Amino acid sequence: MFAFKKAVEPRAGSTPDLQSTSATPLTTKQRGQIGENAAVIFLQQSGYQIIERNWRPGNALRGEIDAIAWTHEARGHRVLCFIEVKARTRAHSTTHSGNQPVLRETAAPQEAVTASKQRQIARLANAYISIHRLDNVACRFDVVEVHLSRQAPPLCSLCVNAFDYRQ
- Distance between the two ends of the chain, CA-based, in angstroms? 18
Domains, the chain, ranges and CATH?
A: 3-91+103-163 (3.40.1350.10)
- What lies within 8 Å, CB to CB, of 155 at 6+ separation is 7, 8, 9, 90, 146, 147, 149
Question: Is pTM, for the whole model, over 0.85?
Answer: no
pLDDT for the residue numbered 28:
83
The half-sphere exposure of 93 on its side-chain side, counting CA atoms within 13 A, is: 5
pLDDT one digit per residue (tens) for the chain, 167 residues: 445 454 555 555 555 555 445 567 778 888 889 999 999 999 999 999 999 999 999 877 889 999 999 999 888 899 999 999 998 876 543 344 455 444 445 566 567 789 999 999 999 999 999 999 998 999 999 999 999 888 889 999 999 999 987 65
